[in-house]
Structure 1
């Protein structure tokens, strides 16, 4: 059996045909491409450039080198915000995945009233972070919230006041964040579990593999793309953490619950120091790239080499 290769002239003639294939679809993509280039890429480049300037109320091209970054990393408020984001992000990723997957695994057992439970667990995600923050601010208030309720039941020594304690305030924020976001992760995990072939479960039962071991050794490795999607969604929410903090604590007590996004907003619109705000937002971008670039290289580069 012989294979006839098309001559170079024939291959060159096919290229224009491929170029004009689905032409209307490609034209429809032009506004989106221009938006991405002008607004996102252009805005990012503009922010990075002006982070090296002495811009105050209005942007101005008076370059000061790395002065804004030196000032940024010598500010206690920024250091605290980075530490808070790291703590919140680490715990939020782990707990959201564990709780979301556990709820999804329970619902996947074909329990009664599954639709009602699914609605109840997903409902908090329909609320804005402002509503969630205000609601949990009331729930965690020691005067008329959870602490007061338990004390009225007779446990007068019970103390639970995380939002007014600098050492535990981030855990109070974490409770509200997980309460709102776990439902979405549950739905994503449930969709992944429903995509698993039933024959895999039957084969595991025939081989005498327990349910927990089946999840750990078979189901979870098969759901790797689902976990990656969930991690991306959780990470994007962590980086943008702002509304919840403002609604619950407004960065307090003191600066104990500051986060980078709030630092950027405060310096750009309250302190009227655009240069410092641009420098902080650029550092947030760098932190995302430090995580995203190695992951993208390992995820896609390795596959291409293989």
Structure 2
């Protein structure tokens, strides 16, 4: 009973702030609210306008490219780094700290750092050209065709360390007898990881997927700090679309419609995960 009473403030906060705010946002997405919320309902007009706006469609395309590459490279690089760390290498704590350190930085700091690194005058391109390779070109943030990949590099730099730590924790949780049996049977290390370790790390992969996917949907500050959504709309993202319409265009109805679509995208990820994690346990 004491624990239940202590949980009351948290429950009230969740109901009022999160659940209440969510329903408030969804409700007013069906209105023509501008600077201030109004109750003038317009049905699905805001959603029709949203999906007919070129800026929103470009942001969805950018999010798809960024999200797909982020998921694939985060998992691959994070797993490889974790497998290397799992070999009980010397100075493991030092290497793990160095790789994890970028995750301690905010996306604003990460964006500014990589804005300088990818700057054609002061960054990688400028350094290489100063060494004599005058024809070397590496300016992804200034090329609309590949600008989104410049943002991807910064995102991977920050997130890969966390993925590595989660994967490493999953590997260290596997019974050492399995490794001994694999070595006795003469199974190569890479086959042990691919056919034995990965299937046993299913809960870790699912949790990691949820964390990465939810961060992808709401990516905002990294883009703002690094490119501001440019050049043009090359790195525009849904979260930035919401912010701009809410505070700059002063169109709350359109911003709420866009944020509701983002909420739906997160729900598509969270609900299957919750079903797999808690539904299977309940059936068991």
2:210 corresponding residue in structure 1: 232
How far off is 1:156 after superposition? Answer: 1.6
Do residues 139 (structure 1) and 117 (structure 2) align?
Answer: yes
Do residues 69 (structure 1) and 47 (structure 2) align?
Answer: yes
Do residues 262 (structure 1) and 235 (structure 2) align?
Answer: no
1:48 corresponding residue in structure 2: 26
Do residues 172 (structure 1) and 150 (structure 2) align?
Answer: yes
**Within 5 Å, which residues of 2 pair with 1:6-85?**
23-85=1-63
Task: Give the whole-Å Cα distance in 1 for the aligned partners of 2:252 and 2:137.
Answer: 42
Task: Give the whole-Å Cα distance in 1 for the aligned partners of 2:4 and 2:167.
Answer: 34
**RMSD of the TM alignment (CA)?**
1.3
Do residues 242 (structure 1) and 220 (structure 2) align?
Answer: yes
Task: Give the whole-Å Cα distance in 1 for the aligned partners of 2:13 and 2:152.
Answer: 35
How far off is 1:296 after superposition? Answer: 3.7
1:149 corresponding residue in structure 2: 127
2:101 corresponding residue in structure 1: 123
Task: Give the whole-Å Cα distance in 1 for the aligned partners of 2:213 and 2:269.
Answer: 10
Of the three residues 136, 161, 166, the one matched with 1:188 is 166
1:163 corresponding residue in structure 2: 141
Q: Secondary structure, in 3 states, of the residue corresponding to 1:58?
A: coil
Consecutive unaligned residues in structure 1, runs of 5 or more? 1-22
Number of equivalences: 284
Q: Deviations over 1:93-118 (max 9, x none)?
A: 11111111111111111111111101
Distance 1:295 1:113, change over 3 A: closer
1:20 corresponding residue in structure 2: none
Q: Deviations over 1:245-266 (max 9, x none)?
A: 0000000001111000000011
How far off is 1:195 after superposition? Answer: 1.1
Task: Give the whole-Å Cα distance in 1 for the aligned partners of 2:164 and 2:273.
Answer: 24
How far off is 1:291 after superposition? Answer: 3.4
Do residues 292 (structure 1) and 277 (structure 2) align?
Answer: no
Task: Give the whole-Å Cα distance in 2 for the aligned partners of 1:118 and 1:61.
Answer: 53
How far off is 1:138 after superposition? Answer: 0.5
Q: Secondary structure, in 3 states, of the residue corresponding to 1:122?
A: helix
Q: Deviations over 1:35-86 (max 9, x none)?
A: 1111111100000000010101110101111111111111111001111111
**Conserved? CA contact 2:213–2:269, under 8 Å:** no
Do residues 208 (structure 1) and 179 (structure 2) align?
Answer: no
1:99 corresponding residue in structure 2: 77
How far off is 1:168 after superposition? Answer: 0.3
Tell me the TM-score normalised to structure 1 length: 0.90
Tell me the TM-score normalised to structure 2 length: 0.97
Task: Give the whole-Å Cα distance in 2 for the aligned partners of 1:294 and 1:106.
Answer: 31
Of the three residues 77, 83, 91, the one matched with 1:113 is 91
Task: Give the whole-Å Cα distance in 1 for the aligned partners of 2:117 and 2:141.
Answer: 11
How far off is 1:303 after superposition? Answer: 5.6
How far off is 1:176 after superposition? Answer: 0.2
Do residues 218 (structure 1) and 196 (structure 2) align?
Answer: yes
Consecutive unaligned residues in structure 2, runs of 5 or more? none
**Conserved? CA contact 2:210–2:270, under 8 Å:** no
